[in-house]
Amino acid sequence: MELSTNYMGLALRNPLVASPSPLSKTVDGVRRLADAGVGAVVLYSLFEEQLRREAELNARLAEAGAESFAEALSYFPAAAEEDAGPRRYLSLLERSAAAIDVPVIGSINGVTPGGWADYARAMQDSGAAAIELNIYYLPGDLRVSSRDVEQRHLDVLARVKGAVTVPVAVKLGPHFSSTGEIALALDNAGADALVLFNRFLQPDIDAESLAVVPTVGLSSPAEARLPRTWIALLYARVGAALAATTGVEGPLDVAKYLLAGADVVMTASALLRHGPEHAGVLLDGLAAWMTRKGFTAVDDFRGMLAVPLDSDESAYERVGYVSALRAAEASDYGAW
């Protein structure tokens, strides 16, 4: 059974990729993921806020050093420990890349172009096989236009692409007025992959304590329908690779994403829920499904159920929508 695949020019032993999560915060965790069989590991994300704190710390150190060299030397170690996040991250990346025999992908999570280019280059120098830009942006300012939001994504990509030679993926959220247009724009701007979709983790309201509380929920297979729809629409219409993420729990979830046209299938929730070893369950199940269906390689069925290139995409999706409604009416949900 041939499970090998290609992602952004990276040769992977299989299409299952561990997406950013607490599992990749240590070298041991990264090694467990690789030993479980994943084709690549996307390291947990380095946040823009961490980069800002480091920049502020460096500015304070420089200012103090200008005033008193001796005093700056005396307090530098303690001050540097305030936020060693970026330095720890690069160290983890370097050690992880050396510890496993599958690609390690660096991840930056942020909003503005800022200093991303410098850190992306540092990630490349530390052994990252590729960079994933996790652009987590929900415009709370009601005056921000959709064009400004889209341009922000393009600006970040341009900065990073200009600074590194390794492949660059862009992880998108689903909340665009025209997801297809921004996908094409990023593809034309040089994105090597599009990761669909980012899950925005909004806070909730506790009615008893009358407080806003943070919540983090793992994804469920039902959430895969939206990214799978867009992957099926974008397949063969963009040059960028397509990475599926969200809603992977069992082997059939992996198979369905590949049938839609995904180059790789990423998961974090299933590995957090069941442990890194669940990767083996997913891969064994995928191989068993392929055997049942008579496929000998992933390329035999990738994109088999994508939207046909010669179809009217909008009409195709409308037919699917109407068909779903009719199916609901004919079922026990007819009274809804």
Residue 84, domain CATH = 3.20.20.70
φ, ψ for residue 40 (rounded to 5)?
A: -165, 160
Residue 86 contacts residue 58 (beta carbons within 8 Å): no
Q: Which two tokens stand for residue 194?
A: 């599009």
Predicted pLDDT of residue 68:
43
**Is residue 302 pLDDT above 60, yes or no?**
yes
Q: First-to-last CA distance in the chain? A: 45
- Indicate the number of domains in the chain: 2
Predicted pLDDT of residue 330:
60
Q: Is 177 or 302 the better-scoring residue by pLDDT?
A: 302
- Amino acid (one-letter) located at 160: V
Neighbours of 103 (CB within 10 A): 23
Domain match, 219 and 325 both: no
Place of tokens 């992996």: 254
Place of tokens 């929508």: 321
Residue 16 contacts residue 40 (beta carbons within 8 Å): no
Domain match, 138 and 265 both: yes
Domain match, 180 and 326 both: no
Domain match, 221 and 319 both: no
Domain match, 178 and 321 both: no
Domain membership of residue 322 as a residue range? 309-336
**Is residue 61 pLDDT above 80, yes or no?**
no
**Is residue 57 pLDDT above 80, yes or no?**
no
Q: For the chain, what's the residue count? A: 336
150 CA to centre of own chain: 18
φ, ψ for residue 133 (rounded to 5)?
A: -95, 105
Domain match, 281 and 169 both: yes
pTM of the model: 0.84
Q: Which two tokens stand for residue 336?
A: 């809804």
Least confident span in 18-27, 201-210, 219-228: 201-210
**CA distances (Å), 218 to each of 51, 115, 203, 207, 268, in order?**
27, 30, 14, 22, 8
Euclidean distance between CA atoms 37 and 31, whole angstroms: 10
- Amino acid (one-letter) located at 208: E
Euclidean distance between CA atoms 8 and 263, whole angstroms: 9
Domain match, 322 and 202 both: no
Euclidean distance between CA atoms 192 and 160, whole angstroms: 12
Q: 154: closest CA among 144, 174, 143, 168?
A: 168
Confidence band (pLDDT; 50, 70, 90) for 168? very high
Domain match, 203 and 98 both: yes
φ, ψ for residue 267 (rounded to 5)?
A: -150, 145
Q: What mean pLDDT is predicted for residues 54-81? A: 44
Domain match, 227 and 81 both: yes
Place of tokens 């900065």: 159
Neighbours of 21 (CB within 10 A): 21
Domain match, 94 and 207 both: yes
Least confident span in 31-45, 128-142, 188-202, 234-248: 128-142
- Kind plus residue range of the DSSP H or E element containing 108: strand 104-110
Domain match, 280 and 315 both: no
Euclidean distance between CA atoms 284 and 11, whole angstroms: 20
Domain match, 38 and 114 both: yes
Q: 36: closest CA among 201, 306, 281?
A: 281
